[in-house]
C-alpha cells in the first residue's frame, strides 16, 4: 500500500481531522500558559508546534480537493458566471 492509497482512505482523513484539533488545542493552551507566565508553557508550545509540523507534512500528501460541478444537480446555476447573468431575472 503506497502513500497515495493511504492518504485517500477514510481513516486517514478522520485521523488528520483529530490531529489538527489536537495540535491546535495544545498550541492555544501553551500560548495561554506563556502569556500568563505559568510553568509548562515551553513544553506545551514545543509539543503543539511539533504536532502541527507533522500534520502539515502529512497534509502535503493529501489529494487536492476536487471542485464539484453543482450545475449538474442544480441546472439553474449553469451560466451564473457569464457576464450579464444577473440581468436575466
CA-nearest of 61, 53, 67, 55 to 7 is 61
Q: Does the pLDDT of residue 17 top 80, yes or no? A: yes
Q: Which one is predicted more confidently, 7 or 15?
A: 15
pTM of the shown model: 0.58
pLDDT digits (tens, 9 = 90+) for 37-79: 999 999 989 988 888 898 888 888 777 777 877 777 888 777 7
Amino acid at each position: 500500500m503506497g502513500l497515495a492509497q493511504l492518504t485517500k482512505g477514510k481513516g486517514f482523513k478522520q485521523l488528520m481531522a483529530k490531529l489538527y484539533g489536537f495540535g491546535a488545542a495544545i498550541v492555544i493552551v501553551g500560548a495561554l500558559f506563556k502569556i500568563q507566565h505559568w510553568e509548562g508553557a515551553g513544553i506545551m508550545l514545543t509539543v503543539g508546534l511539533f504536532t502541527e509540523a507533522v500534520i502539515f507534512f502529512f497534509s502535503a500528501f493529501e489529494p487536492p480537493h476536487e471542485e464539484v460541478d453543482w450545475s449538474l444537480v442544480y441546472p439553474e446555476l449553469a451560466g451564473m458566471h457569464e457576464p450579464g447573468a444577473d440581468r436575466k431575472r
